[in-house]
Amino acid sequence: MAGGKEIRTKIKSVQNTQKITRAMEMVAASKMRKAQDRMRAARPYAEKIRNVAAHLSHANPEYKHPFLVKRDSLRRIGVIVVTSDKGLCGGLNTNVLRMVLGRMKEWEGANHGVEICAVGTKALGFMQRMGASILSHVTHLGDTPHMEKLIGPVKVVLDAYNEGRIDALYICYTRFINTMKQEPVLEQLLPISGEALGSATGHWDYIYEPDAKAVVDELLVRYIETLVYQAVAENIASEQSSRMVAMKAASDNAGNVIDELKLIYNKTRQAAITKELSEIVAGAAAV
């Protein structure tokens, strides 16, 4: 039978763990709120840029940007994998990576090569272990993602698309639905489908300065960058809420373990007292 002291130390250690998980839960809860705000703050820009891009692509039928043209042969596929930098956030990263892995197997089965752009330490580590071909990566984005850090890695992927090294581009991240629910999604970025942009409104056209091509080129690059940024922002909000939920569960579990241990501890203590008493009584009777 375990001694009273050992159980006490065990209880102490579980209590310490519980303190940590509870603190992490609260930190994640407050970060989550900010992350959600940031995610929403990015929406108007994305919406505006989508509207303008939609209009431009419909208003200029004579100029087709390569991003809008579907290629006949699909040889290599690029995937931007967005994960968190840190762990302890439930199944968030596992779900995303499992989804990507499933798709990669499918593509490789169909003889398509896969190129990876990893966002977040977890994606990078996983892809390195898998031996995937990594085009670019970015890690340690922190709680506030900055466009500046994403420009380089995204440009590498877009250049690869322009040069024909990849023929399609997907992005995989965790979509934030609500605090309790986040789900991994895989979306196509390139080529941009007409439906994604929606239909044009009206039949007028802009005056372009300096010319339509330059403006459209720049706009579409921004559009893709915005989508990636949005995915990263959404992933961070998902990460925080997922961590909050995971840490809450961990705190609750620690509470249960403590209760059980206390019960065992009290039982042992009671048993020891009873034993001692009966020994005394027996001793007295013998005299």
Among 226, 235, 238, 251, binds other proteins (CB under 8 A): 226
Query: Judged by CB under 8 A, does residue 88 bind other proteins?
Result: no
DSSP string for residues in 103-127: HHHHHHHTT-EEEEEEESHHHHHHH
Pick the piece of the chain touching other proteins (CB under 8 A) from 101-109, 180-188, 199-207, 269-277: 199-207
Among 74, 101, 134, 258, binds other proteins (CB under 8 A): 134
Cβ atoms of residues 84 and 235 within 8 Å = yes
Tell the smallest beta-carbon distance from residue 45 to other proteins (Å): 4
Pick the piece of the chain touching other proteins (CB under 8 A) from 66-74, 218-226, 236-244, 269-277: 218-226
Among 8, 45, 193, 194, binds other proteins (CB under 8 A): 45
Cβ atoms of residues 76 and 165 within 8 Å = yes
Tell the smallest beta-carbon distance from residue 10 to other proteins (Å): 12
Query: Judged by CB under 8 A, does residue 128 bind other proteins?
Result: yes
Find, among 101, 215, 82, the residue nearest to 153 by Cα: 82
Query: Judged by CB under 8 A, does residue 38 bind other proteins?
Result: yes
Give the residue with the Cβ less far from other proteins, 71 or 149.
149
Q: CA angle, 19 as apex, 4 and 261 as ends, to 5°?
A: 25
Is the peptide bond prior to 210 cis by the omega test (within 30 degrees of 0)? yes
How many Å apart are CA 23 and CA 228, to the nearest integer?
31
Q: Which of residues 150-169 bind other proteins (CB under 8 A)?
A: 151-153, 155-156, 159
How many Å apart are CA 20 and CA 28, to the nearest integer?
12
Which residues, in sequence order, are bridge partners of residue 173?
185
Query: Judged by CB under 8 A, does residue 49 bind other proteins?
Result: yes
Query: Judged by CB under 8 A, does residue 203 bind other proteins?
Result: no
Give the residue with the Cβ less far from other proteins, 170 or 229.
229
- Beta-strand pair 168-178/181-190: antiparallel
Buried b (16+ CB within 10 A) or exposed e, 93-110: bebbbebbeebbeebeee
Q: How many residues does the chain have?
A: 287
Find, among 118, 155, 148, 119, the residue nearest to 133 by Cα: 118
Tell the smallest beta-carbon distance from residue 204 to other proteins (Å): 6
Tell the smallest beta-carbon distance from residue 15 to other proteins (Å): 19
Among 61, 109, 142, 210, binds other proteins (CB under 8 A): 210
Among 42, 172, 192, 197, binds other proteins (CB under 8 A): 42
Please give the residue ranges that form the binding site for other proteins (CB under 8 A).
38, 41-42, 44-46, 48-49, 52, 56, 121, 124-125, 128-129, 131, 133-138, 146-148, 151-153, 155-156, 159, 204-210, 214-215, 218-219, 222, 225-226, 229
